[in-house]
Amino acid sequence: MAPKRNNVVPNGHFHKKWQEHVKCWFNQPARKIRRHEKRVEKARKMAPRPANKLKPVVRCPTFRYNTKQRTGRGFTLEELKAAGIPKRLAPTIGITVDHRRRNKSVEAMQGNVRRLKEYKSKLILFPKTANKPKKGDSSEEELKLASQLKGKLMPLPSRRSGKLRVTSRAITEDDQKFQAFNTLRRSRATARMWGLRAKRAKEAAEDQEIAGKAAAKKAAKGK
């Protein structure tokens, strides 16, 4: 058929018998059922442990998406150390660990440390041997209250909830004068040039000290 109306001109490069090589799959509904059954079976085997693991709150990468938060791959070793959780114990109690991730802001690290401490306070640890509980294991009364949590562990609050809403306020004169782009560029340049500027300042201080000593020596000779 000829192209009609103001649309993109079709330019499909098909083989003559392309319809004979179309790949179809009709097992998608059955796959969905099998995945669901496997999740249920896994949760039953893990009970009373949580069906999922605790993950940190991270910022999305790149300048475009770094205003958004999501759950990350795992907690850093610094966050685990600040929360008082050994790195080898963390995976055994449902905490994900990512030794490659690095903390780049104090606020994000403190938030994840609070998240770990809150999770640890709600955690009920079963002893490996029922007759011989060790230090850190929960009491018998707490063990009776244990129930499996299904779903996400400590999910992030949604954007529609009232926690993330910003109340309106009058725009001040400082807000109007503030230049966001220039501030970001300046802060990036400061972080990038910090080492070079520190080196130059150190060299300038050393040169000034040498010049001062030379002047003092010259003045002493003149006397």
Using one digit for the tens of pLDDT, what is the confidence trace for 31-54? 999 999 998 898 888 777 777 889
195 and 104 both lie in a single domain? no
129 and 36 both lie in a single domain? yes
The residue count of the chain comes to 223
Segment 202-221, tens digit of pLDDT? 999 999 888 888 888 888 87
63 and 113 both lie in a single domain? yes
126 and 46 both lie in a single domain? yes
Q: Is 179 domain-assigned?
A: no
Q: Is 172 domain-assigned?
A: no
Query: Residue 99 is which amino acid?
Result: H
33 and 117 both lie in a single domain? yes
Q: Which of 154, 176, 203 is the last residue of a domain?
A: 154
pTM value is 0.59
Determine the pLDDT at residue 156.
85
CA angle 189, 190, 193 (to 5 degrees): 80
Query: Residue 131 is which amino acid?
Result: N
Q: Is 220 domain-assigned?
A: yes
Rounded mean pLDDT, 20-29:
94
179 vs 51, which has greater pLDDT?
179
* Percent above pLDDT 90 for the chain: 54
Segment 58-86, tens digit of pLDDT? 999 998 998 899 999 999 999 999 999 99
Task: Give the total number of structural domains in the chain.
Answer: 2
Given a contact cutoff of 8 angstroms between Cβ atoms, the answer to whether 85 and 95 are in contact is yes
Q: Is 84 domain-assigned?
A: yes
What single DSSP character describes residue 59? E
Determine the pLDDT at residue 136.
62
Structural domain for 204, as ranges: 188-223
pLDDT interval class at 8 (50, 70, 90): confident
150 and 198 both lie in a single domain? no
Q: Which of 154, 179, 205 is the last residue of a domain?
A: 154
140 vs 51, which has greater pLDDT?
51
Q: How many CB atoms lie within 10 A of CB 150?
A: 12
219 and 130 both lie in a single domain? no
Given a contact cutoff of 8 angstroms between Cβ atoms, the answer to whether 57 and 72 are in contact is yes
**114, two tokens:** 């609070």
CA pair distance 76, 94, nearest whole angstrom: 15
Q: Is 10 domain-assigned?
A: no
In this structure, what are the phi and psi dihedrals at residue 207, rounded to the nearest 5 degrees?
-65, -40
